[in-house]
Chains A and B, each alone.
Chain A
Amino acid sequence: MPEINLVQAVNLALARAMAEDANVLVLGEDVAAEGGVFRATDGLLTRFGSDRVFDTPLAENAIAGLSVGLAAQGFRPVAEIQFTGFIYPAIDQLVNHASRLRTRTRGRLTCPLVVRSPAGGGIRAIEHHSESPEAMFAHVPGLRVVVPSSPARAYGLLLAAIRDPDPVVFLEPTRLYRAAREEVEDDGAALPLDRCFVLREGSDITFVTWGAMIKETLAAADTLAGEGISVEVIDVATLKPLDNDSVVASVAKTGRCVIIHEAPLTGGFGAEIAARIAERGLISLLAPIERVAGWDTVMPLPRLEQHYLPGEPRIVAAARRILAYQ
């Protein structure tokens, strides 16, 4: 089985979904002949034709809005927003309409759409190309928010998202697009959207993260393992709806938790997870919960970018602070 990277896994999942279900459409800016600026939709136009893969004019709000119309008519549109820096105009359609079409019509009209977009920084890009808006979407009732962290999980989670009867915001970590390769079997198997993934089991401390930060988190876990500290690493993957049980069970086991995300600290999704741990697992805590996150500033331009992204040293330092509570 060949090894593929994350963006190739996205491409594989899209092709698979389109082959299985004639209602799946791919649309967005530059997704057809160009194959997507990151090649996520490469080859799909040739394979499925311009009735299933098509470019839209430059209008993110309308991309999301017309996807709502398509979905209400029974299609399964997978709309690409070229960068999450441009997803904000689409928030109106996602929040005011996609998220609530089912409930406001008592299920008469539904919205099985997917909006997928490259998210996160660390790619030395210009302004507005390094956004992490997952917390904004996670706050909206009726949406699902999914962030894959590996090629295999991107494949399985995107298939699940496309098959899901409700709207899904699928944020792909740009920094991971080409970062790692692994074997991904094109077996059409979806991964569950209601569960976190325990990537590594451990007993001394729990690391909770998602997206590109998996990389630094695993590196930090390795560093600590070298000192005899056993780290459990959880990939949240589906932020909304959140699987409480995995995280709470892990903290019950280890008593210590560090939550890591690239998005800015205040109001970040780590706060939600910390609140859930406090609500459901406070009695297990041996030490305060730590969050390692982006600063409450705009992502700096590339020359200072490395000072923003939470790196392995910050994660390790946070872990050490709470491991001191022996």
Chain B
Amino acid sequence: MPSAEKILELPDIAEAARQPAAATVARFEIRYSRFLDPKGNALRPLPDFAVDRAELVALYRAMVLARTFDAKAVALQRTGRLGTFPSALGQEAVAVGIAAAMHKDDVFLPSFREHGAQLWRGVSLVELFLFWGGDERGSDFAEARNDFPICVPVGTHAPHAVGVALAFKLRQEQRVAVCAFGDGATSKGDVAEALNIAGVWRLPLVFVINNNHWAISVPVVQQTAAKTLAQKAIAAGIEGEQVDGNDVIAVREAVARGVAKARAGGGPHLVEALTYRLSDHTTADDARRYRSDSDVSPHWGEDPITRLRNHLVGRGIWGKADEEGLLAEVSAGVDKAAEAYLATPPQGPNTIFDFTYETLPQDLIEQRRAMLGMARE
């Protein structure tokens, strides 16, 4: 890659001559960590940010906002006012933990189930409603101008993250790219290729696997024989770890560690966040076709929002009035944004054409004219 080192290093023949007949030349280890148990009890000393009430409340609020937005989106879809929507119910801690660990001028490349991260990073509720409601303006973020829009072809944004991280390295900027994708994506070539290149080029890139256990109807045990998804990083020479994806403190801590390492020039990192998809794959899916309700119910016991609330309440830093106030404020905000979205008139049909190239070629000028002529009739 891009490096000042000399490229060619031939194997040390003398060294090879000294090897015994057989030896273990590589091992790997994947560590799992969490801070809070499902009931919200701290299992070990918390990281510094978690000592701070304001930080924890911000995390809590962000997860509640994500869930409230999510429920509103599903409700709008049910009433025909939003398109197909992939709910992230139960996975709020992964998204919020990722975003909270990033700097503002880092770049985030989501899959399509990290609404909470997008919201934290400045994508507005109205923009999210617009996008899922079928309006491209939803991807023209007013803030987070460098973040990528969601990525539908699974895993194909992983190489984009490589390019973004490479851009930071070439310009010697202290910025990091963070790329999130699901368990299904880890079977894709794009992801393997991206891990490999990030590893060999030592790019400032953190991969986060949002492992919600399901790729539509295929459970992760049918996706791969690997015991963990984190170990796929090992094959690329990257350090990988697992965290409890429903513990927002654990997610943030691990991603922050990876981001700091990358920012300092330590190369890429991978965090596999274990969570569970409590909803259907999308609003058009019916998960009961392939999993039973009794499989799902126990996972409500791991609810990340309940967990953090219980922890906050347990520490005496969150009470009834706080809860009511937050629920009211967040509901009102989401409702207001939904109304603003519903009141937004669609773009003119000319916009189908206008952004195809920077300057519209003659062919498209003619086609646009033809389409507008028909649209008027």
Contacts and interface: CB of A to CB of B under 8 A. Distances in A.
Direct A/B contact, Cβ within 8 angstroms: yes
Interface of A: 25, 32-33, 50-51, 54-57, 59, 61-62, 64-75, 77, 89, 92-93, 96-97, 102-110, 141-142, 144, 165-166, 194, 241-245
Contacts of B168: 73
Interface in B156-177: 156-168, 170, 177
Interface stretch (B112-120, B265-273, B275-283, B359-367): B359-367
Contacts of B164: 69-70, 72-73
A75 B2 CA distance: 15
B362 A194 contact: yes
Given A65-B190, A69-B160, A74-B167, A103 B356 contact: yes
Contacts of A50: 1-4
A265 B33 CA distance: 60
Contacts of B167: 69-70, 73-75
B3 A57 contact: no
Instruction: Give the interface size bracket for B toward A.
Output: 35 or more
B156 A69 contact: no
A107 B360 CA distance: 13
Nearest to A110: B358
Contacts of A243: 362
Contact of B163 (A51, A59, A65): A65
Contacts of A73: 107, 146, 163-164, 167-168
A59 B193 contact: yes
Nearest to B361: A241
Interface string B105-137: 001000000000000000000000000000011
Contacts of B4: 50
Given A72-B148, A96-B153, A106-B137, 20 more contacts: A51-B170, A54-B1, A55-B1, A57-B193, A57-B196, A59-B193, A65-B160, A65-B163, A65-B190, A66-B159, A69-B161, A69-B177, A70-B164, A70-B167, A102-B357, A103-B355, A105-B139, A166-B357, A241-B361, A243-B362
Given A57-B196, A65-B156, A108 B145 contact: yes
Nearest to B140: A106
B219 interface: no
B362 A241 contact: yes
A312 B136 CA distance: 50
A107 to B, nearest CB: 5
Interface in B335-377: 351, 355-358, 361-364
Contacts of A89: 189
Closest 10 CB pairs of A and B: A69-B163, A65-B159, A241-B361, A73-B167, A62-B193, A66-B163, A69-B160, A103-B355, A106-B140, A70-B163
B107 to A, nearest CB: 8
6 contacts: A25-B170, A55-B1, A62-B196, A73-B146, A102-B355, A144-B357
Nearest to A69: B163
B318 interface: no
